[in-house]
Amino acid sequence: MEILHDSEVSKIVYDKQSNIVHKTLKQKPVDEHWVRLYKEFQKTAPVVKIIDMVDDHTYSMEYIPNIITTVDEFTQSWSREYSFIRNKNNLINLHSTILESWQSAMRISKNLDGDRFWACGDIKLTNIVVVKCKNNTINFKVMDADSWGIRNGYQSVDTFYQSQLKVALVMQRLV
């Protein structure tokens, strides 16, 4: 087992034998209803896939190999390290990744009672990764699964639009 992250909020451990990641939440429980909704959400959203609930504070998820960097680092104009993959098509795909995750969340929200929405409380460019694919192309994936959940009212839309705006400004500057 390899510890990938350990903070006061969570611990993420990679099990090389099973090629699975386990995330333990230290400040909130994992709920079966949340796992069911997230599994429905992940069918259409470009997000890290959850496998199952392990216990009241831990869930398992897919291991994502070949992560190059976070989108926050990728979009820094001063970072020449990633300039070879900062092009029109990749930036459009990044825009689409953010938008598709939000659209998938809105489809889930249609089935929730009252003024409840399925939304991400922490969608930001540091929670989206750049992944190198087998054919030397790149893809993007939204991480931090447990930041998605049922919210009262249309909360978190500000961070969604901030992320989209930042990517649009990067596109304007770099392409």
Q: pTM for this structure?
A: 0.91
pLDDT tens readout for residues 56-69: 999 999 999 999 99
The pLDDT confidence band at residue 175, using thresholds 50, 70 and 90, is: low
140 burial type by CB count under 10 A (0-12 exposed, 13-18 middle, 19+ buried): buried
Contact between 61 and 51 (Cβ < 8 Å): yes
Total number of domains in the chain: 1
Cα–Cα distance, 91 to 44 (Å, whole number):
20
Mean pLDDT over the full length of the chain: 92
Question: Which range of residues forms the domain containing residue 116?
Answer: 2-174
Segments in the chain forming alpha helices (H): 32-41, 71-74, 88-109, 157-174
- pLDDT tier for residue 121 given thresholds of 50, 70 and 90: confident
- pLDDT band at residue 52 using 50, 70 and 90 as cut-offs: very high
CATH code, domain carrying 162: 1.10.510.10
